[in-house]
Structure 1
Amino acid sequence: MILNHLNLTVTDVSTAKEFLLNYFGLQIGGERGQSFAALFDDNGMVLTLMQGTEVNYPKTFHIGFILENEEKVNELYQRLKDDGFDVTPPQRAHGWTFYVKAPGGFTVEVLA
């Protein structure tokens, strides 16, 4: 069995969508106004974003993107940092990894 769908409630669908399209290469699958967007990854995983007024994910909640190697992680870290996101440098944990707070109220882990 393959997990192929995940829904996130976000405070701003448009900015969360643009963040995921711009930095993580997701593709638009469909939209309904400003309150819903369906995004697809390269393997057909569907990530939906739904508008919510209060988003309170648990402290450790996050979604993750596994990149090909440490160089790709470093490149994305630098790009996010250069674009003004508050990211701590990658570190060795359960791989080469860093976390970034995404627009809309959720956290993303990037690792190799």
Structure 2
Amino acid sequence: MPEIIITLGEGDDEKDIRFDVSMEDYNELLNNQVPGDKVGPGYNFLVSHVHQEDKATFKERVLVNGKTPNGMLVMLIVNEITNEVTGDVAVKLKKPKALPSK
């Protein structure tokens, strides 16, 4: 899968951060999530797949006080990567036709 580029910031403060994520990598993220923890696995996933040259910039932008991941930002980035990994897949739920009355 080609690299995924996420731009963080605006104007002169914009920084591109590159990620290499395969479908297998994404599946591993989903398997590591548990009901009470989405941010931790999401952050670990992003740190594991960010380009080495972009890792310091990524941490500078995502960590609050250099320690705690900004959960909303982590999940927004994971969402963008999800959209890229899944491509143009469309999923629709079809409701069953009503059964005839007796």
TM-score by length of 2: 0.28
Which one has a bigger Cα radius of gyration?
2
Structure number with the higher strand fraction is 1
Structure number with the higher helix fraction is 2
